Amino acid sequence: MATSGTYRAAIRAARAFAAAGPALLPGPTATARANMEIAFGRADEALLRATYRHFAEAAVDFLFFPRLFAAARAGEHFRFAGGGLEHYRATMSPAAVFVTGHFGNWELFGAAFRHVGIPIAPVVRPPSPPWFASLVERRRRREGQRTIPKADALPLALRALKEGNCVAFLMDQSAGRHGVPIPFFGMKARTLTAPAALAHKLGVPLYAGYSTRLGDGIDYRCFAEPVPLLEDAAATTTKLNALFEGYVRARPEQWWWFHRRFKPTKLERRGRRLTPAGLPVAP
């Protein structure tokens, strides 16, 4: 089959690029090593190489998704942990807040749930460069995903939920001055509390989950678990960070270590020398 052969060639090319990634991309590599030191006390070179390989392969899966995915075999492509397809269909609310992160293959997270009858509108910020942002958006629309621009996230997400739809947030990147310092890998990290705040405000269910890669082709483990609403949004977000940290610890090679997750606000960084993780160097 031509598609299969082309896919295999693309995977081989992705793996070759991934092997050279640490040398070709010194900036992201330094950031990843610094983040690993924060999380695990040391930079693990094997983990670094595995991370490059995972994301190179996941990118190929995303690009080939329309040609490789067969809706009739959704249960083979997406293996739903925690009860299986019918459990998710029977128990999940049509209006809910989902929280995931740059972990596994987040683009296929929404696609997986849409194919079991649970469409999710993700809150997105267009990636760079513009041509890539256009490609990604076309692919999302082709898969029936309705996206919510990050710039207008709160009012549009609020409207979507009131209309009985699901929305999803990727909350594992630094939220800057808009975030609350909440522990993540033992360190305070500026975290978005909006997902929890929306669930509290509207009384809709809150879920945390992921879609992790199992093997070549569209072969993913999908999972979502209900998160109880605690006394306020900050407390609930603390729980979400703890859950997500557990996901990352279980499959660390599938998290995007290249982001400066632990950096403080611009005001706190101003005029100071920074580490590769974005933290001010101690005087």
pLDDT digits (tens, 9 = 90+) for 12-69: 999 999 999 999 999 999 999 999 999 999 999 999 999 999 999 999 999 999 889 9
**pLDDT for the residue numbered 85:** 67
Judge whether residue 157 has pLDDT over 80.
Answer: yes
Higher pLDDT, 48 or 137: 48
Chain segment 228-278, per-residue pLDDT in tens? 999 999 999 999 999 999 999 999 999 999 999 999 888 888 888 989 999
Pairing of strands 166-170, 97-100: parallel
Average pLDDT, the chain: 90
Closest CA to 94 of 207, 192, 171: 207
Task: Look up residue 280 and give its two tokens.
Answer: 């001010």
**In this structure, which amino acid lies at residue 70?**
A
Q: How far apart are CA 229 and CA 145, in angstroms?
A: 27
Strand partners, 183: 188
Q: Are 218 and 69 in contact (CB under 8 A)?
A: yes
Q: How many other CB atoms sit within 10 Å of the CB of residue 229?
A: 17
Statement: residue 1 has pLDDT above 70: no
Strand-pair partners of 225? 208
The reply to whether the predicted model has a pTM over 0.75 is yes
